[in-house]
Amino acid sequence: MHIPDGYLSTRVWVITDLVAAPGIALLARRAQAKFNHHLIPLMGVMGAFVFAAQMINFPAGNGTSSHLVGAALLSCLLGPAAASIVMTAILATQALVFQDGGLLALGANIFNMAIAGVFAGYLPYAMFRGSRVGLFLAGFFSLMTAAVLALSELLISGVAMPPAMLSVSFAWFLVSAAIEGALTLAVAVALERIQPGCLRKPVAGGRAWAVSGLAAVLLSSAGWLFASDRPDGLESLALKAGISNRVTSLIASPFGDYQASFVANPRLAKSVAGLAGILVIYGLCMAISRAIGATRREGA
């Protein structure tokens, strides 16, 4: 899941770095504003905890074992903004100290695991108000989103993969995601028993926000893969999502030039445009969910 350096094409690592850097800066400010100052040691120790918890082997059937990834668990414990920062600190430490994941690819890994993975974990948790189903789904979606994003980035970068490998990867992702869900649930239940009240209660009334947010994350990660697999994925996705032609042309226009000047490979060019389009769709979904959330609050 940690993409090393040397795999991603220049466009992919540049774009993901450009998305991840301001994202993390924003989240850092948010996390900092929300808590008091005991947060810095707490977040550092929680990062070390996730590292250490990865040493505990869980039997995963057939004599194999698995370990916790932790993004979903962190988001349930600390809330999404702080969890993103802790995951970022973990990923940076893994890349620097253990050569687990690359430095140029750090933006991609942060985007996949620390941003998308954390939020994809937090949203079902908030949606199901911290119930057991929510905890399982948190782990499941967190890992699934991160894995699908990583695979898509590799494919967009032109990493060669036999078609059969794709379906194998997917099956493997499903199994890993189910295991992560089970681990997140099991560890969270054990935590609640030892230290009641340590899981953050999700904010009530955020259900509309959570539903549309989750939809946006899933849509964007599925769409990302779609765009990478089929160069014209964006257009059909946009049509299915019912976005008018005007919006599509708006998305396409700045990348029309980009396509002509920088990218020789048309397939790649469309993928880049696809990425940008998906980001726009994601933004729209978030804006709509914000609006729904706001009217809900006024109504209540």
Partner 1 sequence: MRHARLELWSRGTSFAHRRHPAAKILVTLVFLIAISSLHPSQARAAIFYFVVLTALASAAKLPVPRVLLAAAVVLPFACVFALMSFFAGAPEKGIAIMVRSWLSALTTVLLMATTAQPDLLAGLEALRVPRFLVQVMQFLYRYLLVLIEEAGAMRAAAASRAGKASTLEFRRASAAAGVLFARSWGRANAIHQAMTARGFTGHIPRFRVLRITAADVWFVFGLVGPVLAVRLVLP
Residues interacting with partner 1, by CB under 8 A? 4-8, 10, 13, 24-25, 28-29, 31-32, 36-38, 40-49, 51-53, 55-59, 61, 68, 85-86, 88-90, 92-93, 95-99, 102-104, 158-162, 165, 183, 186-187, 189-191, 193-195, 198
Which tokens hold the place of 175? 């199994």
CB of 239 to partner 1, least distance (A): 31
Q: Among residues 78 and 219, whose Cβ is nearest to partner 1?
A: 78
Q: Among residues 86 and 273, whose Cβ is nearest to partner 1?
A: 86
Find all residues with CB under 8 Å of 41, minimum gap 6, and list them: none
| Burial (CB count <10 Å: 0-12, 13-18, 19+), residue 197 | exposed
Q: Among residues 85 and 217, whose Cβ is nearest to partner 1?
A: 85
Nearest to 220 by CA among 299, 117, 122: 117
CA 287 from chain center: how many Å? 18
Contact 272, 258 (CB under 8 A): yes
Q: Among residues 263 and 288, whose Cβ is nearest to partner 1?
A: 263
CB of 122 to partner 1, least distance (A): 18
What phi and psi values does residue 79 have, to the nearest 5 degrees? 90, 160
The SS3 assignment for 58 reads strand
Token pair 């804006």 is at which residue?
A: 287
Measured CA to CA, the distance from residue 69 to residue 143 in angstroms comes to: 8
Q: Among residues 164 and 204, whose Cβ is nearest to partner 1?
A: 164
Q: Among residues 187 and 280, whose Cβ is nearest to partner 1?
A: 187
| Distances, alpha carbon 122 to alpha carbons 75, 77, 157, 300, in Å | 6, 10, 29, 24
CB of 44 to partner 1, least distance (A): 2
What phi and psi values does residue 56 have, to the nearest 5 degrees? -85, 120
CB of 14 to partner 1, least distance (A): 9
CB of 117 to partner 1, least distance (A): 17
E-state strands within the chain = 58-59, 65-66
Measured CA to CA, the distance from residue 130 to residue 253 in angstroms comes to: 43
Q: Among residues 5 and 229, whose Cβ is nearest to partner 1?
A: 5
- Neighbouring-strand partners of residue 59: 65
Which tokens hold the place of 7? 């795999």
CB of 264 to partner 1, least distance (A): 13
CB of 146 to partner 1, least distance (A): 17
Q: Among residues 13 and 224, whose Cβ is nearest to partner 1?
A: 13
CB of 215 to partner 1, least distance (A): 29
Measured CA to CA, the distance from residue 210 to residue 28 in angstroms comes to: 21
